[in-house]
Amino acid sequence: MKIRPLIATLVLLSSLGLHAQDFDLPCANLDYKNEVQTVLLYADGNQNKEPVIPLDDMTERLTLSFDLLGNEGDILNYTFIHCNHDWTPTDLQRNNYSVGFDYGRIDEFSFSRNTLIDYVHFELRFPQSDMMPLLSGNYLLIVYGDDLSEEHIFFTRRFMVVDEKVSINVTVPRYCDDLSLSDTHQQLNITVSMPDIMSSNIQQYSNLAIRQNGRWDNAVVGLKPSFVYPEYLSYEHNPLTVFEGANQYRRVNFSNFYFNSENINRIYQTGDYYVVDYRVCEPRARKPYITYEDIHGEKYIYVADEDKETATEADYAWLNLFLRYPAPLTHEDFYVMGAINDWMFNDRNRMTYDYQLGGYLCQLLLKQGYYNFMFVSADRDSGQVTTDLTAGNHWDTDNLYRLYFYCYNPVKGYDELIGYTTAQSH
């Protein structure tokens, strides 16, 4: 086991005055090193609960867990920065949005046992009393190695602190305002009740954000109200609240390597790792909608053996996915979307076309568990992601929408997060 000294690092950081704002760091969920796997950041001990915590009760409400492939255990460091409603860094000094130390360490780690692929598992419960956010709003968690510089960052993840002051109400009508979209899209009608804090500048200072399931790529950010009433704001009949309906997520469960669950052709072991072959998939575009339950694109990491500890005894496997498609597209790339790849679009989940097989292939290294996923296409020029070519779009799809209401505080100079809710389309 190799443990790097932390004291010298903290002294160096203190003397140099380094902060995350000192370099161009995107405030997004990103992995910077290939060995990073299975990053989970969730609230209240529930893997599928979004990392949103109340301002009045934050202590150790968030759980961070992740694996680093290999067999060397290093003490890692972490910090967080405050962000605006649009996920750009604020100009606030750290002592204005955080109390305690500027940096903490992640020293709780353990080595994998009885697995074909070696990894080191890390866990952290935060915020802690010696490093605590003071304000509501958006935050970016940064996990890094020897020092807070771009080359030593392992990954970043978003979390939020909410100070509930408003009530958000959501309905999904059967028909969109644009009737031609009514069978394929979902339109949200939203009202925000805030009688105690209405001001003449609410149109200017308020910003609403909307996410569909766990996606950030199609999120609406900085939405302004269509109408301002004495006691509430209306976002009804707004074309910016229209989303592709998409489809139910596909699913795969390989929590048990000795049982082929639904949709799995076979599971086999090579000398170095397990392989899971998923059945051949067909595009669902322009096909009838079929109802079944999913977990809105999320994942749940576990091993189906009561005698094994998931954190360190769940193994990794290569999941082989194949989508039959008559010919490769010339202006779009295909991706596997979902928490299966932390809702990112990168080389890990980009699919490649195989002319002999006649379809798109993707191989993902994943820890044992249950995963939802969906095939999508992304335009190479604009980066816009659509489900129309691969999954199809249906008004009937059960999507989970997350809504965040921000109000700029002109005195303190930051966006307060004063409302948060979730709503299912059906």
Ordered per-residue pLDDT tens for the chain, 426 residues? 333 333 333 333 333 344 555 667 899 999 999 999 999 999 999 999 999 999 998 888 999 999 999 998 888 999 999 999 999 999 999 999 999 999 999 999 999 999 999 999 999 999 999 999 999 999 999 999 988 888 899 999 999 999 999 999 999 999 999 999 999 999 999 999 987 766 778 889 999 999 999 999 999 999 999 999 988 999 999 999 999 999 999 999 999 999 888 999 999 999 899 999 999 999 999 999 999 999 999 999 999 988 999 999 999 999 999 999 999 999 999 999 999 999 999 999 999 999 999 999 999 999 999 999 999 999 999 999 999 999 999 999 999 999 999 999 999 999 999 999 999 999
371 shares a domain with 241: no
- CA-CA distances (angstroms) from residue 139 to 66, 93, 135, 147, 151? 19, 14, 10, 20, 21
100 shares a domain with 189: no
Given this model, what pLDDT does residue 197 score? 67
Range of the domain at 220: 167-245+399-424
261 shares a domain with 145: no
Tell me the CA end-to-end span of the chain in Å, nearest whole number.
51
289 shares a domain with 318: yes
80 shares a domain with 109: yes
155 shares a domain with 16: yes
237 shares a domain with 254: no
Given this model, what pLDDT does residue 100 score? 94
258 shares a domain with 318: yes
Rounded Cα distance, 426 and 8, in Å = 55
Number of structural domains the chain divides into: 3
Is 182 inside a domain boundary?
A: yes
Is 2 inside a domain boundary?
A: no
**407 in Cβ contact with 416 (< 8 Å):** yes
Is 241 inside a domain boundary?
A: yes
259 shares a domain with 209: no
Which residues, in sequence order, are CB contacts of 71 under 8 Å at separation 6+? 111, 118, 119, 120
Given this model, what pLDDT does residue 414 score? 96
Domain limit, last residue, from 108, 129, 162 = 162
Which residues, in sequence order, are CB contacts of 268 under 8 Å at separation 6+? 274, 275, 277
What's the CATH code of the domain at 229? 2.60.40
Is 410 inside a domain boundary?
A: yes
Domain limit, last residue, from 143, 162, 181 = 162
Rounded Cα distance, 417 and 165, in Å = 9
Is 350 inside a domain boundary?
A: yes
Given this model, what pLDDT does residue 4 score? 36
Rounded Cα distance, 412 and 262, in Å = 54
